[in-house]
Every structure is written in structure tokens, then in C-alpha cells.
Amino acid sequence: MTLQELSQLACSLSAESAPDWLLGCFQRRSITFYTGACDTTTRVYWLQARGLSADFRVQPSESHSDFAWSQKDQIGNFEGGIGRTAWSGHTMKWFGWTSFQLHDKWCEPGVLKRVGDCVIEFAPSGAYVEDWRLQPSRPGPVVALRMVREWDVKVRAATHSGGGLIVCGDHAALVRGRTRNLHGLGRLSDVARDAPHDSELRRDLFAFEASYAIREGSSDYKILLSTNPSLIGKTLPVLDGFSYDVKTQLVTQRVRQGGTTLERLFSIDTLEPEVSFSSATSVNAEAEEWLHRESDTLLAFASTPSDSR
């Protein structure tokens, strides 16, 4: 079964599902803290389905080129993971994360408001505000699956536990969690630095994948960011290999990776065959008339993001 065929299966939505205007991939333009400090440099992407969210944050100092696996500590500050969400009309709560980092760095919900392609997220405490921009995408499926486990078919051994898959049109995210629970040990970079000779711990620390991929022109999704830099530029296997068990309502995917056949078991969050990721939002007639009336000056230097690639 292909991804498109999978997306056409019936899927019921919970009352706490994200609204249509939050579906898609957003890139952060800035975060401003209560001190006045503002970060416009860190690369941050957020993919949102109905009840599942993926997040990737890469600091400028973290090199993803010419990377040697003996230098794993270089990506110690990379943030990548997938978690569940609950929407209450104005506020989004994130919980149940499977994340590369070992501690809960972002513990507040977000008060969200969207105008055009811009989503503004306020921390209820007033600690920060973030400016997010919807990324262009052709109309396409929104599919979100929560990973139960992944195993090597030949040896029947678990390779990953937890995580998930999100596809939002031309954007996709795959998170494969650790089989060993290391949450709460501290900052990943500190744990890795303080255990230079503990090969088992260091192996388990980096036995994790969080990859963000984008489709440009071709049908394949090419990995743009990953906790495994050797995967960058390679194809993210999200287009086929799926099967659905009507009894259990679980999805299985078989993929080949590095000469190994892997089988992934998922539960379903979102299956929608086609969503239009428009950069426009609705307003009342008075606001529409005002913009039309004043467009000669208000829109003189404005640009409109493309809704399609």
C-alpha cells in the first residue's frame, strides 16, 4: 500500500484535534524573550498534523557537513522529536515526546494565532513569543502515525521504540526512538561529554533518528536535517511499503535500509488524502474591503508567498 492509498482510509478525529489552519510545516522566523533578546538564526521547523507534532532545531554552530561519527558530540545540542498535541480553541499543549534530547526543554503550552502565513505563539508566562511561517507546499496528504516499535525482520530484534511519522504535503518527518529509556539523565551534550569511555551509554545516546525531509519536484522526500548527518541528502522512505490491519487498526511498514529489512508498527493519528496548504486566512468583509481600498500603498512593497512549488 502506498502513502496515498493509506491516507484514504477512514480516520476519526478527537475533539482536541488541531484546526485546519495549523496543518502543515512551519519554519520559525524569530523567537523573542522577555529580556528583549531575539534569535533569528537558529533553524527551526515544526510539522503539525491533527494530534501529532514534530520539531527540529539546529544551532548555527552545529555542522552537518564533513561529519565523522567519532565527533558525535558536535550534534549534542540538536533538538528533534515527535510528540502528541491537544488543542483547546486558543492553546496548544504538547506532551508524550519521543525526543533526541533527554530533558524537557520547552515545558509551556502555546497560545496560537494565525494571520496569512504567519502563526504567532505566545508562552502563557510571557517568557517568549515566536513567529512561525507556513512553508510552501503543493496540495497533498496529511498522514501522522505514532510508532509503537521497529524491528529487524531477519533477527527479530528491536531496533527502535517510540517516535512516529508525519507527512504534510511536500514536508515529512520521521522519528525513531531509543530502545533504552534515557530520559531524565540530564543534557545530552553533558552526558556524552562525561561518559567518554562508556561505549554502551554513548551507543544508546545516539541510537536515535529524527529526520526532516522535503520534496521538491520529484516524488521522493530528501532529508534536509537529521540527528544522523550521514542521512542528509538521502531519500526518506515514506511513500510505500504500508499495510493496514482492520482488526487491530494498526499500520505496518516494511522498508530496506542499509541492506536490512525493517518492519515498523504504527497506530494512526491522522489520515487525510488531500489538504490545501494555503498561505491565506479568512477575514470579515470590512477588513477585505479596507485592504482593497488601501492596497495601492499597503501592498506596494508586499510579497505573497507561493502556495505551490
Do the domain assignments include residue 237? yes
Do the domain assignments include residue 95? yes
Our count of domains for the chain comes to 1
Do the domain assignments include residue 307? no
Instruction: Tell me the C-alpha distance between 175 and 158, whole Å.
Output: 15
Full residue range of the structural domain in which residue 133 is found = 15-61+70-275
Do the domain assignments include residue 309? no
Backbone phi and psi for residue 297, each to the nearest 5 degrees, phi listed first: -105, -40
Backbone phi and psi for residue 16, each to the nearest 5 degrees, phi listed first: -100, 20
Do the domain assignments include residue 168? yes
Do the domain assignments include residue 87? yes
DSSP state of 22: G
Q: Is 269 helix (H, G, I), strand (E, B) or coil?
A: strand
CATH number of the domain encompassing residue 147: 2.40.128.280
Give 100-107's long-range contacts (Cβ < 8 A, gap of 24+): 100/188, 100/208, 100/210, 100/227, 101/187, 101/188, 102/182, 102/183, 102/184, 102/185, 102/186, 102/187, 102/188, 102/191, 103/183, 103/184, 103/186, 103/187, 105/79
Do the domain assignments include residue 291? no
Which of 159, 187, 163 is CA-nearest to residue 54?
163
Per-residue pLDDT of the chain (309 residues; tens, 9 = 90+): 999 999 999 888 888 999 999 999 999 999 999 999 999 999 999 999 999 999 999 987 654 444 343 445 567 789 999 999 999 999 999 999 999 999 988 889 999 999 999 999 999 999 999 999 999 999 999 999 999 999 999 999 999 999 999 999 999 999 999 999 999 888 898 898 888 888 899 899 999 999 999 998 878 999 999 998 889 999 999 999 999 999 999 999 999 988 899 999 999 999 999 999 999 999 999 999 999 999 999 999 998 876 445
Do the domain assignments include residue 267? yes
Per DSSP, the residues of 124-191 read TTSSEEEEEEEPP--SEEEEEEEEEEEEETTTTEEEEESEEEEEETTEEEEEE--SS--TTS--HHHH
Query: What is the longest distance spanned by two Cα atoms in the chain?
Result: 69
Note whether 227 and 100 are within 8 A (CB).
yes
Sign of CA dihedral 190, 196, 198, 200: positive
